[in-house]
Structure 1
Amino acid sequence: MHSMSLTTTALRTVGKLKPENTVFLLCDIQERFRPLMWRGETVIRSAQYMTSVAKALDIPIVITQQYTKVFGETIPETFADAEHMKNVPKFEKKKFSMCTDEVKDHLNTLDKQSVVIFGIEAHVCVQQTCLDLLEDGKEVHIIADAVSSQQPYDREIALHRLSQAGAFLTTAQSAVFMLMQSADHANFKAVSKLTVEHMKLPNEFNDISTVASKI
């Protein structure tokens, strides 16, 4: 019994992130949704911070767009560098989950175990994507200050549900510093500069307390 307990503990992932084993998913942050999302501008600003860090740390990004003809293109401000955005693979979808056949094929070529996701809506596309990824054995990290829904309650319950399902809830800064692990990291100064600039911007999630109290 004792040895079984040790084995189970050893196999349990604690959610550490490493750049070489990580991919970022940007889920449906599109123009039509911009005025509809609760704390939407913070989501956009946090997404830009994450994509800028991805560029600095050479982490691949995957973008999806839900029915682009109706909901529009990905909001340009989700990237600080337009050229970087142009070079990121973008997948059209009507399925709510990002895990379409095309996206899954692409993720298989990347062969990354840790998935960091940000975007909208928390209780629909983000939630279904995370559940699919967890079923596929991926380690899923949700950037709480870069995820939202039209209704705050939908967002709150979705984050709670996903935490129960085995996803890791984190914040943009927490994930970024875990990826670097040390001030000795070769890109520490560049990422620190991005972080300082990001911290100057308003974060409308700073008043959040309810989700943490339920987990």
Structure 2
Amino acid sequence: MKIFKSIVKNTLFTVALLGLASQSYANKYSEVLTPDNAVLAMIDHQTGLMVGVRDMNPAQLKNNILGLTKMAKVLDLPSIVTASYPQGPNGPVMGEISQVLTDAKVINRQGEINAWKSPEFRKAIKDTGRNKIIMAGIVTDVCLMFPAISAVAQGYDVYAVVDASGTWDKVSREAAIHRMTQAGVKVVTWASVLAEIMDDWRSPKGQELGAVLAEHTSYGYVYQSFIANKKSN
């Protein structure tokens, strides 16, 4: 009888722990992006790597990167830009990112392929005090996938922006998406990130974010009609 009671007691204790863990997980991952809980990390968008992207039209990729970075600029999100061995064949970070994110923390890694293994990069993320990382990288299946999985393993909530990332081919992209999803990374697009973080057209930055969306997606015609109607009234 004592053994039975002990088993029941241990079982109930385990169930309670699992319940608390499940609740903690649900709270953490159901919390939406806000301008106050997110940080942007742009990883290895370097000229030498950009030319190897084949899973997306180069013009579309550039457009998506600009949309994402302009969103961060409008919201004054803490932003971290990192490059892998920039003096080597990977080359410098594409100039458009530097032109938009003028206040970003720039970290030039000397050899780490996985940016999360860079103490400077991890510290830059930690110093923001934010737990949600909006992350994009070239190439998707290395520069984005490795740090995204590593960050999740250390308790961060990572949003991997796959359309502001690129890789050698569609097979590589699909494999990376599967692996990131299995590891608990949230796979998203830049426009969905903007919509989630904007939340309401009446938000303080709603109109400015709408303008970014209009500039870099086909939503532009809808936005133009909205502005024209607003002026007429």
Paired residue for 1:176? 194
* Residues 40-85 of structure 1 deviation map (CA, whole Å, 9 limit, x = unaligned): 4322221111111111111111111111112211112336xx2x43
Q: Match of 2:214, as an amino acid?
A: V
Q: Does 1:73 align with 2:86?
A: no
Q: Residue in 2 aligned with 1:138?
A: 156
Partner of 1:126: 144
Distance across 1 between alignment mates of 2:80 and 2:21: 33
Q: Which moved more, 1:22-31 or 1:38-47?
A: 38-47
- Equivalent residues of 2:67, 2:216 under 8 A apart: yes
TM, length-normalised to structure 2: 0.79
Code of the residue aligned with 2:39 in structure 1: it is V
Mapped contact 1:117–1:142 kept (Cα < 8 A): yes
Cα shift readout 1:144-176 (whole Å, capped 9, x = no counterpart): 211221122111101111001001111111111
**Counterpart code for 2:70:** S
- Tell which structure's C-alpha radius of gyration is larger: 2
Report 1 or 2 for greater relative contact order, CA contacts < 8 Å, sequence distance ≥ 6.
Answer: 1
Partner of residue 162 from structure 1, selected from 164, 176, 180: 180
Instruction: Report the aligned-residue RMSD.
Output: 1.9
Shift of 1:14: 2.6
- The change in CA–CA distance for 1:5 and 1:131 in structure 2 (over 3 A counts) is closer
Task: Quickly say closer, same or farther: Cα 1:173–1:68, change in 2 above 3 A.
Answer: same
- Amino acid across the alignment from 2:183: A
Q: Tell me, yes or no, if the aligned pair for 1:44 and 1:78 is still in contact at 8 Å.
A: no
SS across alignment from 1:177: helix
- Write the distance in 1 (CA, Å) between the matches of 2:59 and 2:43: 15
Structure 1 residue ranges without an equivalent (≥5) = 202-215
3-state SS of the aligned residue for 1:145? Answer: helix
Is residue 114 of structure 2 the alignment partner of residue 97 of structure 1? yes
Map 1:1-215; keep pairs closer than 5 Å: 7-11=20-24, 12=26, 13-14=29-30, 16-38=32-54, 39=56, 40-70=58-88, 71-78=90-97, 82=99, 84-93=100-109, 94-99=111-116, 100-200=118-218
8 Å Cα contact 1:45-1:77 kept in structure 2: no
Gaps of 5+ in 2: 1-11, 220-233
The TM-score normalised by the length of structure 1 is 0.85
Q: CA deviation at 1:110?
A: 0.7
The alignment covers a number of residue pairs equal to 198
1:23-45 CA-partner distances (Å, limit 9, x unpaired) = 01101111112221021432222
